[in-house]
Amino acid sequence: MPNQYKHIGVDLAKSSFVADLPKGVTSFAQSPAGLRGLLSRLPAGAWVVCEATGGYERALARACHQVGVRVSVVNPRRVRQFARSQGILAKTDRIDARLLSLFARKTEKLRASRAPVQAEAVLRELLQAREALVEALKHETNQAEHATGLPLLEGLAAARRALLERHIKQIDAEMERVIAADRDLADRAARCAQVQGVGPVTTAAVLALMPELGSLEKGQAAALLGVAPIAAQSGTCDKSRHIEGRPPPPAQNRLHGRTERRPPQPRSLRLLPAPPRTRQTRQSRSLRPHAQTHRTAQSSPQIS
């Protein structure tokens, strides 16, 4: 990690954010004026580090990119695991800001976030709006299966479904227009279309949510997407590799489906009595395939 950079940890929240500046931890309002105040106090060679926090990091990253300040948006889970490794169990805004600075200084392969292209940012916004409409349409469709039989309510529900479907089609058309208007996106979209099973919506998700594709080495794309099998080996124990059981991001939903682990049974099901187990008898054990094979082998003539 180059020593000339001064890492500035920033803990973000809805109404304010806290920055670990050289003169001390300072709080700012979550507003354009607050962002300008932070940028004016950054030292030379500053490298801002923040967590991905429900979209609040986008304004900070955009402001840093506009003035040429390096910024890294890191995974909150990695930061929390680092805190536990350092024995830091308390969690406040001021502690988190200092923790982010320490995490950045100790991380050897910290990468600066790439400045988003305007077309990619537009695609990302359109995809988020489309996902919300798809979820709303799914909810309306499920509700239609339990119709009350009242003509008024059924008519209103049908109108809502038609409106949602029309809005989804409008967003699909706008995404295709945005991709076609950008030469780089159009070239990458053409390569994505060569893959069997990849349609326009999946292509838009790839271009907007994984802009690093095309510049990664072998195996890095699967790890970035979160579908790379994780090794679990220690000593003589070598368990089967598995995909990390976490809720998948939208890109992972599109490219790999639902990859999270099967959730545990609800407590109400665990409290139910277990089904009765049939007791094995001498006769039932003798009817097993491997037992029959063993008897056949014993009764077969020996070859001398």
Q: Answer yes or no: are the C-beta atoms of 8 and 42 closer than 8 Å.
A: yes
In 17-75, which ranges are continuous DSSP H helix?
Answer: 32-41, 57-66
Torsion of CA 149, 151, 157, 160, to 10 degrees: 170
pLDDT band at 206; cut points 50, 70, 90: confident
E strand or H helix at 300: none
Distance CA 8, CA 47 (A): 6
Task: Give the Å distances, CA to CA, from 49 to 146, 276, 294.
Answer: 49, 57, 66
Residue in the structure block whose two tokens are 């809805």: 14
pLDDT tens-digit readout, 126-165: 999 999 999 999 999 998 888 778 899 899 999 999 999 9
Q: What is the mean pLDDT of residues 221-230?
A: 71
How many residues in the chain?
A: 304
Task: Give the Å distances, CA to CA, from 294 to 37, 280, 289, 298.
Answer: 82, 19, 9, 6
User: In this model, does residue 81 exceed pLDDT 90?
Assistant: yes
Residue-range domain boundaries for the chain: 6-106, 118-212
121 vs 7, higher pLDDT = 7
Burial of 157 (0-12, 13-18, 19+ CB in 10 A): middle
Pair type for strands 24-29 and 230-234: unpaired
Distance CA 129, CA 171 (A): 8
CB atoms within 10 A of CB 51: 24
Distance CA 95, CA 76 (A): 14
User: In this model, does residue 210 exceed pLDDT 60?
Assistant: yes
Least confident range from 35-39, 110-114, 176-180: namely 110-114
Q: Which residues pair with 8 in a beta bridge?
A: 48
Q: What is the mean pLDDT of residues 114-127?
A: 88
Reply yes or no on domain 6-106 having CATH 3.50.50.60.
no
